[in-house]
């Protein structure tokens, strides 16, 4: 199968590194597997015979490559059916989902399998995109979009096919968990913990997307729609961030054997808010870790813990890629049904 990578930022570059390291394994699944194109915001590389991955690892910017075509776009390549799978890894945009939404729509409408860690299109148009994938008998997989390396969608899709999820809760943002953990263990203020997170590159210079709970709310919407068959939108989520949390509140909680964590919950409604979590609860993980606690009618309670951002996300993207490669030539792809 022929892979097109759209987006050559952090995720795109880390994916290329992982593809280089795992190429012989991938070719043991599909001997014709090759990367035929990589697109960044200003142009692309395309080689129908396959791009030499080792060459790519020597450059930091795609434009440094000798075959780089300035001015070309992903739409040019998608429009000519030059690939079978697209990894869409452009930056998340929750206002209109672009440019990812247009890329994914075009790919799916042409029967190209899509793998994406990009939350924007999934938050804004989940049902539409799943229906498009179903109609065109191709896969839309997005394991990396929520809680990075935690295989929550794969777990439910493959291992909980007969279970009905009745409630889901989780720590879905590593940045806020890092800040709250530092306040809990080091007894420092919110402002100092945030500054420390920014210096370590864990928080953005403008941290509002994380600390005001918007990132966690986006993930909650995707989880609700994908795993529980809801028709949720971002506006449906009651969102409270962690800006107002004081060191004194953390101390009071700690003395009563609780930690304060930013928790996303899907119950009757959707909510992201700081909550008191008993320190012995399986969801009470620290640092940049994420955790997802699923309650179902049959299995009852399952907790998943892992890293939610950074290069660990490549694990999820690669697993989605292998899922598509293994199913090539088999019966048509269809969306998982929800109990």
Catalytic position from the list 34, 119, 219, 275: 219
- Around Cβ 59, how many Cβ atoms within 10 Å? 15
Does residue 291 touch other proteins according to CB under 8 A? no
Nearer to other proteins, 167 or 328 (CB): 167
Question: CB 252 → other proteins: shortest distance, Å?
Answer: 4
Q: Rounded distance, CA 132 to CA 265, Å?
A: 28
**Sheet containing 140-141: order of strands:** 69-70, 43-46, 34-39, 2-6, 85-88, 113-115, 140-141
Question: φ and ψ at 75, to 5 degrees?
Answer: -65, -35
Does residue 258 touch other proteins according to CB under 8 A? yes
Nearer to other proteins, 115 or 270 (CB): 270
Distances (CA, A) of 323 to 34, 160, 200: 16, 17, 34
Does residue 263 touch other proteins according to CB under 8 A? yes
CA angle (17, 329, 36) in 5-degree steps: 35
Does residue 208 touch other proteins according to CB under 8 A? no
Q: Computed over its alpha carbons, how large is the radius of gyration of the chain?
A: 20
Taking CB under 8 A as the binding criterion, the range among 1-9, 12-20, 214-222, 252-260 that sits at the site for other proteins is 252-260
Q: With H, G, I as helix, E, B as strand and everything else as coil, classify residue 176.
A: helix
> Nearest CA to 261 among 171, 194, 150, 147?
171
Residue 259: strand pairing partners:
277
Residues 167-186 that bind other proteins (CB under 8 A): 169
* Residue bearing tokens 């199913």: 327
Question: CB 292 → other proteins: shortest distance, Å?
Answer: 13
C-alpha dihedral (250, 251, 253, 258), degrees to nearest 10: 90
Among 79, 251, 299, 334, binds other proteins (CB under 8 A): 251
Does residue 253 touch other proteins according to CB under 8 A? yes
Question: CB 293 → other proteins: shortest distance, Å?
Answer: 9
Q: Is 164 a catalytic residue?
A: no
Nearer to other proteins, 252 or 299 (CB): 252
Does residue 248 touch other proteins according to CB under 8 A? yes
Does residue 244 touch other proteins according to CB under 8 A? yes
Does residue 249 touch other proteins according to CB under 8 A? yes
Taking CB under 8 A as the binding criterion, the range among 104-112, 124-132, 269-277, 317-325 that sits at the site for other proteins is 269-277
Does residue 18 touch other proteins according to CB under 8 A? no
Does residue 246 touch other proteins according to CB under 8 A? yes
> Nearest CA to 117 among 321, 316, 326, 339?
316
Catalytic residues, by residue number, are: 219
Residue ranges in contact with other proteins by CB under 8 A: 169, 240, 244-249, 251-253, 255-256, 258, 260-261, 263, 265, 273-278, 281, 283
């Amino acid at each position: 199968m022929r892979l097109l990578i759209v987006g050559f930022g952090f995720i795109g570059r880390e994916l290329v590194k992982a593809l280089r390291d795992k190429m012989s394994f991938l070719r043991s699944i599909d001997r014709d597997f090759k990367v035929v194109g990589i697109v960044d915001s200003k142009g692309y590389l395309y080689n129908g015979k396959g791009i030499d991955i080792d060459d790519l690892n020597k450059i930091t910017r795609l434009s440094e490559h000798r075959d780089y075509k300035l001015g070309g776009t992903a739409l040019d390549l998608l429009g000519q059916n030059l690939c079978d799978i697209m990894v869409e890894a452009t930056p998340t945009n929750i206002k209109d989902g672009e440019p990812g939404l247009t890329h994914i729509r075009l790919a799916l409408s042409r029967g190209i399998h899509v793998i994406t860690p990009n939350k924007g299109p999934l938050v804004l148009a989940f049902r539409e995109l799943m229906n498009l994938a179903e109609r065109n008998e191709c896969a839309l997989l997005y394991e990396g979009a929520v809680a990075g390396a935690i295989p929550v969608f794969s777990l439910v899709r493959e291992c909980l096919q007969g279970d009905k999820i009745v409630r889901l809760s989780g720590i879905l943002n590593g940045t806020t968990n890092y800040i709250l953990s530092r306040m809990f263990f080091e007894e420092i203020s919110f402002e100092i913990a945030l500054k420390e997170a920014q210096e370590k590159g864990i928080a953005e210079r403008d941290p509002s997307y994380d600390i005001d709970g918007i990132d966690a709310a986006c993930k909650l919407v995707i989880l609700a729609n994908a795993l529980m068959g809801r028709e949720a939108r971002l506006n449906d989520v009651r969102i409270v961030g962690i800006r107002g949390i004081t060191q004194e509140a953390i101390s009071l909680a700690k003395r009563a054997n609780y930690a304060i964590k930013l928790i996303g919950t899907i119950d009757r409604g959707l909510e992201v808010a700081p909550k008191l979590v008993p320190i012995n609860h399986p969801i009470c993980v620290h640092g940049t870790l994420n955790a997802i606690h699923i309650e179902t009618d049959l299995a009852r309670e399952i907790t998943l813990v892992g890293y939610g951002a950074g290069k660990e996300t490549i694990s999820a993207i690669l697993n989605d890629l292998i899922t598509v490669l293994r199913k090539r030539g088999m019966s048509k792809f269809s969306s998982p049904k929800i109990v």
